[in-house]
Amino acid sequence: MKNNTTSLASRRALKVSETIAVGRKLDSSISRRFTRAVAKLIEAGIRTCTIDMSSVESADSGGFGALSMALRRLEEAGARAVVVCANPAIRKLFEVTSVSRLAPVVTRLEDARRLQASLASGIAS
């Protein structure tokens, strides 16, 4: 399984698995770009997606709304998503907003890749 990383501004051919790197903020200023990036993945028929929030230092309701919507859309399209987030304050927001029920949340990108590989092979549900 080939993994690629898509920044919110890049355009290129997609593989079976993609990673979207969010950056330092998950807020309303990036919500449109984030939503478009996820829509492009869904259009391309992506099966697994890792949302890399390991660099995120701050978040607001607009960013969390975009993330929730994106995770729901990925699920509706039959794609599996994993979120990477090491920041304890942001991880707490995942629990409070129930985002962690939409997709597994892990602390390291390596853990996400392992989980995606097991999801792709049908080992995990």
Residue 110 tokens read as: 């390596």
Bridge partners, 17 (sequence order)? 3, 48
The CATH number that applies at residue 67 is 3.30.750.24
Considering only residues 100 and 2, tell me which one the structure prediction assigns the higher pLDDT: 100
Q: What is the pLDDT of residues 55-93, one digit of tens each?
A: 999 999 999 999 999 999 999 999 999 999 999 999 998
What does the mean pLDDT of the chain come to?
A: 84
Q: What is the mean pLDDT of residues 103-124?
A: 83
Domain membership flag for residue 125: no
Domains of the chain: total: 1
CA distance 92 to 123: 28
Asked if the structure places residue 60 within a domain, the reply is yes
pTM for the model: 0.80
27: in domain: yes
Whether pLDDT at 118 is above 50? yes
Domain of 69, in residue numbers: 3-120
